[in-house]
Structure 1
Amino acid sequence: MSVDATDAAGFVDLHCHGGAGYSFDDADASGIEAALQYHHGQGTDGVVLSLVSAPVPALARRLGDLRRILPSLPGALGVHLEGPFLSPERRGAHDPDALTVPSREAVGALLAAGEGVLRQITIAPELPGAAEAIDAFVAAGVTVAVGHTQADHDTAASAFDRGASLLTHAFNAMPGLGHREPGPVGAALERDHVVLEVVADGMHVHPVVLRTLFAAASGRVALVTDAMAATGLGDGGYLLGGLDVEVRGGRPLLRGTDTLAGSTLTLARAIEVVVASGVPRPDAFAAATSVPRRVLGQDTL
């Protein structure tokens, strides 16, 4: 099965870092537009721009820049901060020097800088101050995602019960779904208000797990790309938040490691992968359309 741009029109990506050689962390308006246009050409009408971890003042400045830039760019649906409130043990491709705890001052600075544009934030709920941070972001209308976390089931469950409603790239950068220790995935599965992101590129999650996830969380799975700047380009060397990334065979890795650094995925390709794993085509399409729209609180773009 293949998905072309006309068939796929209307996709919404909740978690995308860039494309066509541009990163949302530092691209100017023309670069952001080029990345959005690339994804639009692959059938994605709306993108939440994801930023990797950086020092809070730098993120605040970037949010200010994006508040000025995004209103003029069709398809830009706001900003997702994937950090800096992440577990050092589960940081993945995030700069460890940029990670910090969600202090009241840090949370306030990001909320003020991101007013009107900050849509989502990923938080490791075991960090000191995380509970209060979740309360503050939820009260401000920001979708809180649990992710890049070492949290056990009960800690993640508490975060969801406080109002967190999204799981950042389920299974990746978190404890697994164990039969005695179900972890964050188990906590998300048992709560009907939680949507689970998944990166279906054939590398991040096994097809058996994809099929199981869609069966266990019917109508609550959102396909995301986690795409980085190399998306739409060839293999080679790139940057992700200042860290060196090498793309080989379409697989982006932190240079010198086996750590995945996002993906070079499109949502059209993600649907192909999910359907090939045994998920019904309508469910796969919903995971790239109606489910992410619901996360954003909108039925149409």
Structure 2
Amino acid sequence: MARQALSGARLFDGTRFHDNSTLLIANGKIEAIVPDGETISDCEQIDLAGGILAPGFIDAQVNGGSGRMLNDDPSSASMFMIAEGHRPFGTTSLLPTLITDVEGTVEHAISAAAVAVAAGRGVAGLHLEGPHLAPSRKGTHLAKYMRPLQDSDVDRLTSAATGISTLVVTLAAEQVTPAQVSRLANAGVIVCLGHTDSDAASALRLFDAGARGVTHLFNAMSGFGHRQPGLVGAALDHPDVWGGIIADGHHVDPLALRVALRAKRGPGRLYFVTDAMSLVGQERDHFTLNGRTIWRKQGGYCSRLALEDGTLAGSDLDMASAVRFGVQYLDLSLGEALRMASAYPADFLRLHDRGRLMPGMRADLVHLGEGLHVRQTWLGGAASGQAG
């Protein structure tokens, strides 16, 4: 692949902004950021004509896209389609997410993810959200398929982690033991707590055993109380715990998110996820999941997805919209909103080759124009995706 010089936009490298600068790309990777006007030879010159050039977005929780749900067809082809459906909205890496389903579906998803990750087409790993969740916090998951984690499940997951570099598993505290969490963490599995009524003490034991994050903070978990701080309180207080947040104006009130952002003790941080379903980028008003119809309801910052009884069923959110929401409603600076969509999820997922525009990293990029809408994305230095 020829060297490229991208200029004419304000550059954000994941840490700070660069004005009057050019980004050099070679062989699909970042070569350097140099001042405009510096002599550059043997390069394709690309004038971006304004806007902001930033690291491509990274989404740790994506159930569907391109009209496809991973649960309907847990294949590598589905994973590629989902990734392609989110690319016009700035997402260059994502984890296809399998929710609670019948036995055997997990095995298919694990095999497919190993193939998809190796292909380098935007699938960065796999997120297994279930079946080891608490029926009391099922959300849109089917409780009849939920069950405790068995040692045989741990064996399967630790084996899967050898073939999938980034494997996230969401577990309920009620369904696991600290010893099981330790085994998973020591094998490289990223363990998150979610869909649980866990009290704070139980959560802290599992965090100390190796659980590293929480899945969609506030949603489907024990909330924060002044005498019972719950999983929310434990996650905000534990310094090593990370948390995904769904910034769509439906899942969590912006006030609660602003409080959480100020309260989170680091170095663990909060980062954006979409929890997106198949309708992102689609015009349809409904789809089916596990035989149930999920409807798109218009209104608010973006439309919401819900079952007939009103239960939220994932989101209709894309990552560019989450960044805009962060700036408009969460009092975030543009740089921090961009970090929550790129650098922070990269750190949480241990994707050390992306999330920042640093020499040697993947040239996964997003070009944002007026109103922070996506003009273009690049995957490994190759332009792909149009305005979203």
Aligned 1:19-34 pairs, distance under 5 A: 19-25=65-71, 26=73, 28-34=75-81
TM-score by length of 2: 0.72
Bigger share in helix: 1
Instruction: Decide whether the 8 Å contact of 2:200 with 2:234 is kept in 1.
Output: yes
Candidates 325, 329, 332, aligned match of 1:279: 332
2:346 maps to: 293
| Aligned residue type for 1:276 | Q
CA deviation after TM superposition for structure 1 residue 74, in Å: 1.3
CA displacement, residues 50-99 of structure 1 (integer Å, 9 cap, x when unaligned): 11012343212321233234422511011010011100000111111211
1:75 maps to: 122
Instruction: Decide whether the 8 Å contact of 1:12 with 1:293 is kept in 2.
Output: yes
Indicate whether 1:226 and 2:275 are aligned: yes
Instruction: Decide whether the 8 Å contact of 2:86 with 2:280 is kept in 1.
Output: no
CA deviation after TM superposition for structure 1 residue 300, in Å: 2.7
Distance 2:51 2:201 in 1: 42
The structure with the larger Rg is 2
| Aligned residue type for 1:15 | Q
CA displacement, residues 241-276 of structure 1 (integer Å, 9 cap, x when unaligned): 44431222221112x211111001111101111211
Unaligned stretches of 5+ in structure 2? 1-49, 355-388
Aligned residues, how many?
Answer: 296
| Aligned residue type for 2:112 | D
**Which is further off, 201-210 or 25-34?**
25-34
Runs of 4+ in structure 1 over 6 Å off? none
Candidates 288, 298, 306, aligned match of 1:239: 288
1:257 maps to: 309
CA deviation after TM superposition for structure 1 residue 8, in Å: 5.4
Candidates 161, 168, 172, aligned match of 2:215: 168
Q: Structure 1 43/8 Cα, relative in aligned 2: closer, same or farther at 3 Å?
A: farther
Instruction: Decide whether the 8 Å contact of 2:82 with 2:96 is kept in 1.
Output: no
Bigger share in strand: 2
Q: Structure 1 20/6 Cα, relative in aligned 2: closer, same or farther at 3 Å?
A: farther
Candidates 145, 148, 156, aligned match of 1:109: 156
Aligned-pair identity in percent equals 32
CA RMSD of aligned residues (A): 2.1
CA deviation after TM superposition for structure 1 residue 223, in Å: 0.4
Distance 1:55 1:131 in 2: 26
Instruction: Decide whether the 8 Å contact of 2:80 with 2:116 is kept in 1.
Output: no
Instruction: Decide whether the 8 Å contact of 2:161 with 2:188 is kept in 1.
Output: no
1:124 maps to: 172
Instruction: Decide whether the 8 Å contact of 1:123 with 1:130 is kept in 2.
Output: no
1:94 maps to: 141
Q: Secondary structure at the match of 1:120?
A: strand
Distance 1:101 1:6 in 2: 47
| Aligned residue type for 1:291 | Y
Q: Secondary structure at the match of 1:77?
A: coil
TM-score by length of 1: 0.91
Instruction: Decide whether the 8 Å contact of 1:86 with 1:149 is kept in 2.
Output: yes
Distance 1:242 1:49 in 2: 20
Distance 1:49 1:36 in 2: 8
Aligned 1:146-185 pairs, distance under 5 A: 146-185=193-232
